[in-house]
Structure 1
Amino acid sequence: MKRINVIGTSGSGKSTVSRMLANRLQYPYLEMDAIFWKPNWQESSDEEFFANLTDRLNDECWVLDGNYNRTAEIKWARVDTIVWVDYSFARTLYQAVKRALIRIATKQELWDKTGNIESFKKSFLSRDSIVLWTLKTYNKNRVRYTELLNDPKYHHIDFVRITSPQKAKAFIAELST
């Protein structure tokens, strides 16, 4: 395991699992949202995003945190392992809401030098709400990721499906550094 992509619905725990994996394996942690988002919630163009992502994935070892389905050809060209964080709907929704509330309360900048912070309006009352996104994509993602597991096009990739925080900790603890 040298090039790992951690996937899952927003709020599932991708970032937590990714950071734990990167720390355990002593690999660079790459966050797709940090590569994509610019200051003031401006989005990168696909051209810019794809170039930045390709550049960041040139290293020999990394843990990539994120989905962005349109980047599959780029990120999975060299990936050897996909870790799917597939917790229950109730747990995922709870984590998404809790995370949003903590970020709102702490006014935590999400990605360095962007100034992007969560607000109550953006998190709960907007069409771009991360909580709404979690509600809308949970079932679709489970179908899509199950299909990926069985797609012969990706037979060269090891898929690891993690269904609870306890199983995530056990999986990571078993890894040798």
Structure 2
Amino acid sequence: MGCSGSGKSTLARALHQELRLPWLELDSIHHQPDWEPLDTELFRSSVTDFMDRHPDWVIDGNYSKVADLVQARCTDIVWLDVPFPRVMWQLVSRSLRRVLFRTELWNGNREGLRNLLSTDPEESVIRWAVKTHHQFPGRFDRLRADPRMNDVRFHRLRGKASARSLIQDLTGSASASSSTRQH
């Protein structure tokens, strides 16, 4: 978990590669052509199907529509608690690259300059990050305090060094046990 631009997909990709686990990027199924959101029931069933097909997995994203499903079956929750200025740098530079190079994201969608400059958080990933960055400490603390999450390992990462350390730790434990799942 973490706000847009915190590095969720980058970390998930690294975990997927290092641990050789199936990876589901929630954005890739939620954002249908023309940025239309996938119907909630279809979204939930797609995530459930993925978890049913793979006993061990990596899932990245922050969708409340499926949080209960993923949290009920995860063994680890990773919060990328990246300082706001760093998030903004990563997000703005990533978005500018995507706009300039017309990078296709999911289902034919591309970030556009209009979206980048929009003041509407529903249209601009930058405005969305500004709106939501401050919400994650409370969300993380509530999850940790939830008795249903007692068997879940929580990881709070503040930068690239702690992310590399987590990957090394999990790579070591994955060789000892094949039952590591990441959220």
TM-score (norm 1): 0.91
Among 41, 45, 60, the residue aligned to 2:39:
45
Gaps of 5+ in 1: 1-6
Among 9, 16, 20, the residue aligned to 1:22:
16
What is the SS of the residue equivalent to 2:77?
strand
Q: Which moved more, 1:141-150 or 1:31-40?
A: 141-150
Q: How many residues align?
A: 169
Q: Which residue of 2 aligns with 1:68?
A: 63
Q: Which residue of 1 aligns with 2:30?
A: 36
Q: Which residue of 2 aligns with 1:120?
A: 113
What is the SS of the residue equivalent to 2:6?
coil
Q: Root-mean-square deviation (CA), in Å?
A: 1.2
Distance in 2 of aligned mates of 1:9 and 1:154 = 21
* Letter in structure 1 aligned against 2:45: A
Q: Which residue of 2 aligns with 1:3?
A: none
Distance in 1 of aligned mates of 2:68 and 2:162 = 29
Gaps of 5+ in 2: 176-183
Q: Which residue of 2 aligns with 1:104?
A: 99
Considering fraction of residues, name the structure with more helix: 2
* Letter in structure 2 aligned against 1:70: K
1:164 aligns with 2:159: yes
Contact 2:44–2:65 (8 Å) recurs in 1: no
Distance in 1 of aligned mates of 2:96 and 2:77 = 29
The CA deviation string for residues 138-168 of structure 1, in whole angstroms up to 9 with x for no partner, is 0012221222122222112111111111110
Distance in 2 of aligned mates of 1:67 and 1:95 = 18
- How far did residue 123 of structure 1 move? 2.0
Distance in 2 of aligned mates of 1:87 and 1:60 = 30
Distance in 2 of aligned mates of 1:89 and 1:95 = 10
Q: Which residue of 1 aligns with 2:143?
A: 148
TM-score (norm 2): 0.88
Contact 2:144–2:154 (8 Å) recurs in 1: yes
Among 119, 122, 136, the residue aligned to 2:131:
136
Considering fraction of residues, name the structure with more strand: 1
